[in-house]
Amino acid sequence: MSRIKFSRKWLALPYGIFMILFVIIPLLLILAYAFTDVDGHFTLENLTGFFGSASNINTILVSFIIGALNTVICLLLGYPVAYFLAHRDMKMPTAIVLLFIMPMWINFVLRTAATRDLLYWMGLNGGAHPYLCTMIGMVYNYLPFVILPLYTTMTKLDYSQIEASSDLGARPWQTFVKIVLPMSAPGIVSAATMVFMPTMSSYVISDVMGERKLSLIGNSIQLYFDQGLWHMGSIVAVIMLLLIAFGMVATKNVQKEENVRGNMW
């Protein structure tokens, strides 16, 4: 009985090794880099240096505001679209949802540059209006990510409850606020998580649309990368990681729509 019995769990081994090598160790390295100097000695100077600069504080504030604004605008625009597609007997609703997602199949940078060209053509210049143009670019990019989870939740809503509510004399807006909105909360939460953090950490859209006139957290990481300042880049990355972890803990107990990106196919 010396033969090792084949067990299917060993198949996870190559996957586990890959994830340790290229996900866990790199993250540990970022942590180590964030709190060491070029000579490898422990230091808090990266941290104090980052928060000591007013422009970095500004970057974090701007990222928060743009991230929050983008989330709200995308939800305000995407929610009715998803609701109408799910509940106003449209023809071929899934095909229309796919149409909303299809721009994502055009290369991201090309798509963003096309949006900038459209704004140029309409007389809106990113150099003169960096914040407005960046916001428009963000909404263009993240709207499909909102419509998809919202639509999935809406199609699962228990329609009899909505009918019961109006049969019992609730006005349409009461039905909406008391029944539809709470029932679609999982979709709203996953849509918001799909938009808020990625907006804060993106740098391509703000670069292309805002013509490098404004800086988000993503831009400052990219800038340190360009200059080869790994230790400073790492401290910003750690701050970003903390924000993401905070967001995950905050929404931990809320039911979410699973695997929103994977639903594309």
257 near other proteins, rule: CB under 8 A:
no
Tell which positions 121-180 bind other proteins, by CB under 8 A: 121, 140, 143
- Nearer Cβ to other proteins (61/109): 109
Distance CA 206, CA 141 (A): 12
Q: Is 60 exposed, middle or buried (0-12, 13-18, 19+ CB in 10 A)?
A: buried
Per DSSP, helices labelled H in the chain are 12-19, 25-34, 45-52, 54-87, 93-101, 108-121, 130-156, 159-167, 172-175, 181-183, 185-201, 204-209, 217-226, 230-250
Q: Give the dihedral sign, CA 226/228/233/234.
A: positive
Among 71, 233, 256, 257, binds other proteins (CB under 8 A): 233
What letter represents residue 112's amino acid? T
240 near other proteins, rule: CB under 8 A:
yes
Distance CA 81, CA 77 (A): 7
Among 1, 3, 4, 7, binds other proteins (CB under 8 A): 7
CB of 169 to other proteins, least distance (A): 16
Q: Which of 124, 123, 151 is nearest to 137 (CA)?
A: 124
What letter represents residue 98's amino acid? L
Tokens encoding 13: 């081994």
- Nearer Cβ to other proteins (189/200): 200
CB of 222 to other proteins, least distance (A): 7
CB of 52 to other proteins, least distance (A): 21
Among 1, 4, 6, 167, binds other proteins (CB under 8 A): 6
Tell which positions 65-124 bind other proteins, by CB under 8 A: 77, 80-81, 84-85, 88-90, 94-96, 98-100, 102-111, 113-118, 120-121
253 near other proteins, rule: CB under 8 A:
no
What letter represents residue 72's amino acid? V
Task: Identify which range of 7-15, 41-49, 59-67, 160-168 contacts other proteins by CB under 8 A.
Answer: 7-15
Task: Identify which range of 15-23, 61-69, 152-160, 179-187 contacts other proteins by CB under 8 A.
Answer: 15-23
